[in-house]
Homo-oligomer: A and B are copies of this chain.
Amino acid sequence: MTLNEVAAWLKENDRYLIVTHRRPDGDTLASAAALALGLKALGKTVYLFPNAETTPRFDAIATPHFMPEGYAFDHVVTVDTASEDMFAIGAEELAGRVCLAIDHHPSNTFYARMTYVDSVCAACGEIIYQLLDILGVPITQEIALSLYVAIATDTGCFCYANTTADTHRIAAALMDTGIDTGEINKALFRSKTRARVELEGMILSSLKFYFGGDVCVVTITQDMLESSQATDNDTDDIASIASGIDGVRVGITIRENGDGTCKVSVRTTPDVDANAICARFGGGGHAMAAGCTIASPVEDVRRALLDELKHHLLCPSGGAV
């Protein structure tokens, strides 16, 4: 369906419930909030399904829109949610009942009656911006702030390869409303919790390099998580530490789960197939970013991965394997 058809349907109907995805990020929560604000401006009744995993960072944006108990909605809309098993905790019962899914994931499973996917958009927030434009909703500072948060978080502040010229054009239009993006960005990108900083200190002090520096292994043990008091929110994007070091072709992050298993994340340069490495351990993903779970202690997991890597580093950049 086209975005014009999405707009027409939203104009025609009323009493919406917007569902976000579990382990919510800025894009799903702030896109949902912006859509809610836009529909309210058109006189509609609209709430967000309360996402219990909303982090403090996005509280002020999302929580005011959470539905009151007993809200009688007519239509369920999802944003930034690729499949029904990704629905926010507690929203499982809404599976099979979604009227409209607005998404930018190419992996969307078309679970909704109507689906609009634009995978060229770096963030779902870009789609919501275009949609509000078609709907003729004026972009207030409140809407602009939400859309900016959605887009900035999904692009790593316009840094990731998903950022397009249109991403920047939309950011310009949002800034034209006068929002203080310097303050927003400082909170989102230039501040860290004390727990995160302590965890990073332990991680950076225990990096291990192999194959002449081609491979870097980061290990996160339960001890490290406990002594730093790091929560899940503090471990965001930890997997990019190992792969972000100059000269590293394979960055491996091994995280002890505390149940006898380890979660492994593998990031590679284009010449090494991360998916093939993880497939050997029952996992998978993309060519340059994949993962797997291995039921062994950390040391055994590291050894097994390094053993497997011998087959994938046939053209080492740093001498013989």
B-facing mask of A177-195, CB < 8 A → 1, else 0? 0001111011001111110
Q: Mark contacts of A150-166 with chain B using CB atoms, 8 A cut-off: 1 yes-contact digit, 0 otherwise.
A: 00000011111111111
B165→A175 contact, CB < 8 A: yes
User: Contact between B193 and A245 (Cβ–Cβ < 8 Å)?
Assistant: yes
| Chain B residues with CB below 8 A from A189, complex form | 159
Collect the chain B residues with CB atoms within 8 Å of residue A246's CB.
191-194
Number of interface residues of A (CB under 8 A): 48
A169 in contact (CB, < 8 A): yes
Whether A284 is near chain B, meaning CB under 8 Å from some CB there, is: no
Q: Which of B165, B166, B194 contacts A213 (CB 8 A)?
A: B194
Q: Is A204 part of the contact surface with B, judged by Cβ < 8 Å?
A: yes
Q: How far is the CB of A278 from chain B (nearest CB, A)?
A: 22
Known interface pairs A202-B205, A245-B193. Does A168 touch B172 (Cβ–Cβ under 8 Å)? Answer: yes
Cβ of A73 to closest chain B Cβ, rounded Å: 36
Q: What does the 1/0 interface line of A194-211 toward B look like (CB < 8 Å)?
A: 100110111111110100
Q: Which residues of B contact A160 (CB under 8 A)?
A: 182, 185
Closest to A183 in B: B161
Instruction: Give the Cβ gap from A126 to chain B, nearest Cβ, in Å.
Output: 13
A183 to B284 alpha-carbon distance, docked (Å): 24
Contacting B at CB under 8 A, from A287-302, are none
A191 touches B161 (CB 8 A): no
A139 to chain B, nearest CB (A): 12
* A244 contacts B by Cβ under 8 Å: yes
Whether A240 is near chain B, meaning CB under 8 Å from some CB there, is: yes
A-B contact pairs, 16 of them (CB 8 A): A157-B157, A157-B158, A157-B159, A159-B189, A159-B190, A160-B185, A163-B182, A165-B171, A165-B176, A168-B169, A191-B244, A191-B246, A197-B204, A198-B204, A201-B201, A204-B205
Interface residues of A (CB under 8 A from B): 156-166, 168-169, 171-173, 175-176, 180-183, 185-186, 189-194, 197-198, 200-207, 209, 213, 240-241, 244-247
List of 5 A-B pairs having minimum Cβ-Cβ separation, nearest first:
A161-B182, A201-B204, A168-B172, A165-B175, A201-B205
